[in-house]
Structures are given as structure tokens and as C-alpha cells.
Structure 1
């Protein structure tokens, strides 16, 4: 998974803050050239922060927090600055938390075909890590990555130009089956990994003027509406309005993945924008031209869970902040190992602040196709979850 720089902490320590986003900024529905230019500029700012994400992941890997042999291959920039220890720990916890949810998804009825759709995937390495660890997974998991064409073209080029990465991908294909790459290098189609150049806002069907709704949904080759599906969103949906965010999710829950099919979403986003720490976070992002339209609407764990239910994940919802996940989901021996990666963590108070301002939320719905589908998300339902805040 991508592992972002966490913007506000570096500012608090006197460094230069960098945000995390993968192409969800701005509002592209303006009619005047100046509005269109402004929207394009916002999109460019958010797209470009994928380099911050890959840099943070690489920092955490090189300092021993986690293992990812693909981290350098998908870091497209020349420099790879070392991040602060609290940033590296945050990257580790976020990765571990979402890996935990993905593992539980893949472990349910393990022989059954499954599908993962990563929204705003950017330089994410999750598919490669999964398939390297278990090559047989490529034959029962179809993986989709959606992002702006600017980011998908970089991803595909990196795959082609790095023999180790390309071999992992080619080995995942059934014998005699070839991948298909678009002429402009922005789209990859295969039975195992698919990279789609898609502006997620083109999936919205509600919350925008009817005249501006695209006439058809974006083309998503190899999307299977009939296999259990997990959506992933890591600091992605927070860059569009709350209404469009819900509309995008409802397109998945009502149109792309029909009600009969088990479906879930795991997301990672900042919360608590109104306390002093949150206000600093937003100010730092604003200096870079980055806005978080959803953070006030989905500002707490409770509201994040309500959001998932409203979007169609009525089977159940959970949410926990990074600090709680660190103490409850990460084993004590692993916490000790991570804690010694840079000789211990000095910024304990800053870590506590950071960890309380980012959360992982998860929600699901069972299918209606039989007993197996009705209990598909049982492992998620049994997860420990953090109690809602007192608001």
C-alpha cells in the first residue's frame, strides 16, 4: 500500500510538510477557462503528492519498519528523504492495519475467486506484495487499480522498465495469456492485475447537475460483478465533496457490484479537523493548495461509520484511529521491534496527537446468494473496534 508523508507533523517540528492524495482535488465542472485552469491546477497538486506517498513508504522500508521489495521500484523521484520516526511509525501502522483487513478478506472461503478494487492506487505496491508472497493468489484474485492517467502511465512504465517487477507480473498470467497495454501506456488489462485510467468523479451519479453527469460509466475491463469484492481507499475520497464521495461509493454498491454480491470497503483518512492539531493540519495543506472537502462532514470515527452505512455497507461498520490500532491490533513483540527501528521514539506526545487524527474505517454488506455469502464478512464482524468518541 502507499504510505504517505503526514503533512502537519513536519510543520510542527519545523520541517516542510507534505500531504497525501492521489488525484481527487478540485472541481472540474466549471464552464469558464479560468475555472477549468484552476481545477486542473488543483488536480495536478494532488496527483503529484503520490511521490510523497512512495517516498514515505521507501523511508519506512529502508529503516526496517516493514518489508516491501517493490518500494524503490515504484518511487519515481530521484531523492528519497528520510522521514521523521513518527512518520515512519504512522506509515507502518497504516500498512499493517489495511493488510490485516485484506488478509481477513482473502482468508474467507480461500478457494473462492475474489476481487480487490483500489481507488486512487497511484504507486501502491499491495498487489505485488500479495502475489510475491503467494503466487497462487494471482489465479483466484482479480485486482483493479483506478487513478488519473498521469499516475497510471507512471505505474505501467515502472513495471515495464524494472525486470524484477515485470517478471512478477508476467508470472501471474495464465500460460498463453498476454497482457494488453493501451497505445498511450495509460491502461493495463490482464486476468490478474488491471490498471485503469479513471477520474473517480466520472463514477458519480448524484450530487452534481444532471447535465454534467457523464453519459456512461468509465470502462473497467475484467471487473467481475459476481465475486466477493473489497474496495480500498487510502486518503483518496477525502479530496472530493461529501456528496460526490457518497455518490461514487453508491455507484459501486448499486451499479457496478450488484446487491447479490458480498462487498466491503476499507478506508484510511484524517479526522478531527477542529481541534488545534487538526487546524494546523488543514492550514499546512492549504498552503500547498490542497483542500479536504469531506473532513468536516466525516470528522470522527462515528461519522465515518455512518457514512459507510449511508453508502450501502449496511452489514456492519467499524472504525479505529491509528493509536488504538497500534496498541490493539499490533502484537506486543512487533511493537517492540518497530519501536527499536530508529533507537526508540522520542516524540511520544506528537505521536499520540498524530495517531488520534487518522483513522481506518471498514464497512461491509453480505450477498444474498446463499449461506456462504451471508456469512462472508464474519471475520470482519469479529474484529475489535474502538468505541465512538464522546462528541
Structure 2
């Protein structure tokens, strides 16, 4: 088991060799993640023709690591796909990649959207986004996605700023600078927005990442979402090894002390203003959320005899999806704990409507069940994301809105979530 554990936490290196530390070590994790994703791509787990342009070399990872990165990418892409499908015609989806590093999700979204308008913000340390901008401008396969002629690609301070892709240099710990830079890149607070991050908040102190979550939940005056992938469960035997390995390599998981469990992550999202929430560990994501026919395909790619270790590692990572809206944050609601909105959507109640009180009671039961029981399928896991985009008038209280789950989503019956 030890080899797989150590493979899970590759050592960030300086260009000339030797370990990194502090912010440089955290920045170095993007190179390691890119190499691991490229290994999975080269082994046939998923398609991404762009990532190779951001890697200085290729590396072959173990089947254990390849499968883990496949699950990570497939889970995140599933959320992104459903977000894009849920945004109604006439609105422009915005996606904000917090701590983007060398991630190539922009190119995936661009390919998926085709001619449909969208705006994609990449936020990271100024030196990282500058490096990424330069890489895009050096590689024709990358810059040709943005414009027929490289010289026609707008830049601000050396960072790419097109209609579709806007690079933003900011330290997430400096919230004032972050907001100024994002707004300066023409972020619209009136368009549906998905914030997402992969192994980013966990490298920040709890109070710092809390501020980022509160900032994101309040920035948009339209329904907005957040998707988070990162570590959990640091206090069992494997968790301690995970923390110690990364600590010794200069990458302290600062946020795990404050938010070690899925339940604590759920509470922090509620407290930060995200009204509807679902969280699953990566075992449930792999088994229930992503396309099971594709799972069957990738399971035939490589000899794999590390099932127990694989399941153990996957239980120490999660994907969280949370949604909020102006109406949710402003409404007077019946809640799970009496002090704030329910995390489950069904717990929102119109204070004038007796039917709303019945809905709230059902929501409380749903919330309690969700503390211990994983959702049964993808649709249930992503119900908050599916159900918040179609506002309809609330005849009982015009100040509030109802949100209808769009019809035609496999496994989801159309349903009104009344606030």
C-alpha cells in the first residue's frame, strides 16, 4: 500500500531540482496535477488534446493514480455540463476557476458550448496566470481557439482578456484585490455563475477560505453555484499519512484542521451563504454520479489489483455542489436549525403559506437524512444545481420565487421548490 500512498502525493520540485516550500510549493502542485492528468489522458481514460501543451514532459503514473484523476475530471465535468444545460436561453453562463493553475477546463467548455456565448475567468497567483497566458500565446493549437490571428488576442498587463477567456492575477487570500481584479475583467453580477476549484481552499487557513466562499456567494445577483473538489478525513490512519506527506513536502493542508469532515464542509457552505448543498466522497461520485458505461470502459484499460487502496484513497476526497440565489439569501425562511436557510432547497418555506411549512418540515427530514445517507443517483446529488434556474412567480408572496426543476432530466421528476 505504501507505494500507492506516496504516488498520491508527488513532490513539487523547483525547475533546477530540490523541494519547494510555502506559496511556491502550493503553486508547484499544479504542475504535478497536470502531469498526473496527462498520464490518465495518454492511457486513454479521457480526452484532452490541450493539456500536453502545458506540460514540459510526460510522466506515467500508476493505474491507481490514473483512475483517481479520471474520477476527479469526470466528476467535475459532470457538474459543469449540468450547469451549462441548466442556464436558460438568453443568459450567458459565467464560470470562475479559482486557483486555475494549468487546468484546461476552459478548452473543454469552449468545445462543449460551440457557438453558444459563455465567459470563463481563470484566477490564480499573478505569476501563474502570466505563465499560462504566455503558453497559450506560444501554442497555435491553443491561441487559435481564441482568434484566427494571434495578434488579435486582447491582453491586459500580459494576461489574455477575450470575450470568452479572461485571465485574472490575484491571491485568493487578498479579497479586496481579488474582487477588484475580477470586476476589472468585466465580471457580470447579473448572469448565472459557476465558481469551481480543485484542491485550492484546503491550502488556505479556514478563515481565509471562508471569506472566499462568502465573497463568491454574495458577488452574483443571479442564481449562482460553486463546485469544490478537495481532501477530507485527516484523522484516520490514511488521513494522517496524507497530511504528513504533504506537510513534509511544503504543502500544508491548512484548512483540514477547521473542516476535516464532509459534515463540517456542509456546515461551512451553509454559513457562507450557500443555500442548497450536496456533498459526496469520491467513492459515491465514481459509483453513482459519473457515466457508468464510461466507468466500465476505463476499468478495462489497465490491470488493476488495488481495489481496497483505491477505495481508501477515494474516501479521503469529495465533491461538493452548492447553489444560492438572491431570493434565497434575502427571504425569511424556516430552516434546519432556526438560524439560517436549509441546505437542501426543500427546506425553504414561504412564511405566509401553510403549504410552505409542510415543505419546510420535509426539508428538515431531507437534511437529516443527507447527513448520513449518500444520494441514490446523479440527479439527486445535483438536484440543487438542476432546480434553481427557472424562476416563476410566487402567487402567495410576490417577494419570493419558486424554482422549477427543468423537465427531461433523467431520474428527476419536475418539481417546484418553494421558498
TM-score class, shorter: 0.7 to 0.9
CA displacement 1:199-222 (0-9 Å, x = unmatched):
111116xxxxxxxxx698435312
Aligned CA RMSD, in angstroms, stands at 2.9
Matching residue of 2:137: 160
CA displacement 1:57-77 (0-9 Å, x = unmatched):
1000000000111120122x2
Structure 2 residues without counterparts, runs of 5 or longer: 13-19, 328-389, 394-400, 413-419
Contact 1:122–1:152 (Cα < 8 Å) also in 2: yes
Matching residue of 2:59: 81
CA distance in 2 between counterparts of 1:118 and 1:66 reads 20
Provide TM-score, normalisation by structure 2. 0.73
Contact 2:217–2:324 (Cα < 8 Å) also in 1: no
CA distance in 2 between counterparts of 1:320 and 1:339 reads 21
Matching residue of 2:239: 278
CA distance in 2 between counterparts of 1:215 and 1:243 reads 16
CA displacement 1:10-39 (0-9 Å, x = unmatched):
75566583169xxxxxxxxxxxxxxxxxxx
CA distance in 2 between counterparts of 1:299 and 1:378 reads 35
CA distance in 2 between counterparts of 1:116 and 1:376 reads 22
Once the two structures are superposed, the pairs formed by residues 227-238 of structure 1 within 5 Å of their partners are 227-238=191-202
Once the two structures are superposed, the pairs formed by residues 16-55 of structure 1 within 5 Å of their partners are 17-18=9-10, 41-55=21-35
Deviation of 1:179 (Å): 3.5
Matching residue of 2:155: 181
Kindly name which structure, 1 or 2, has the bigger radius of gyration based on alpha carbons. Answer: 2
SS in 1 for 2:181: coil
Q: Which runs of 4+ in 1 moved over 4 A?
A: 9-16, 376-379, 381-384
Is residue 221 from structure 1 mapped to residue 180 from structure 2 by the alignment? no
Once the two structures are superposed, the pairs formed by residues 87-98 of structure 1 within 5 Å of their partners are 87-98=65-76
Deviation of 1:375 (Å): 2.4
Match of 2:44 among 27, 43, 64: 64
CA distance in 2 between counterparts of 1:192 and 1:170 reads 11
Matching residue of 1:145: 122
Match of 2:298 among 299, 323, 338: 338
SS in 1 for 2:166: strand
Deviation of 1:333 (Å): 2.3
CA distance in 1 between counterparts of 2:222 and 2:78 reads 22
CA distance in 2 between counterparts of 1:267 and 1:167 reads 30
CA displacement 1:235-279 (0-9 Å, x = unmatched):
01111111111111212223x32xx31111100010000000000
Contact 2:96–2:194 (Cα < 8 Å) also in 1: yes
Contact 1:121–1:145 (Cα < 8 Å) also in 2: yes
Match of 1:239 among 165, 189, 203: 203
CA displacement 1:153-182 (0-9 Å, x = unmatched):
121111111111111121699xxx954223
Is residue 302 from structure 1 mapped to residue 263 from structure 2 by the alignment? yes
SS in 2 for 1:294: helix
Matching residue of 2:380: none
Contact 1:189–1:221 (Cα < 8 Å) also in 2: yes
Contact 1:18–1:52 (Cα < 8 Å) also in 2: yes
SS in 2 for 1:286: helix
CA distance in 1 between counterparts of 2:213 and 2:406 reads 22
Once the two structures are superposed, the pairs formed by residues 311-322 of structure 1 within 5 Å of their partners are 311-314=272-275, 316-322=276-282
Deviation of 1:377 (Å): 7.4
Query: How many positions carry a matched residue from both structures?
Result: 333
- Quick one: higher RCO (CA 8 Å, sep 6+), 1 or 2? 1
Structure 1 residues without counterparts, runs of 5 or longer: 1-8, 21-39, 205-213, 385-391
Contact 1:11–1:284 (Cα < 8 Å) also in 2: no
CA distance in 2 between counterparts of 1:305 and 1:144 reads 25
Is residue 365 from structure 1 mapped to residue 324 from structure 2 by the alignment? yes
CA distance in 2 between counterparts of 1:252 and 1:383 reads 30
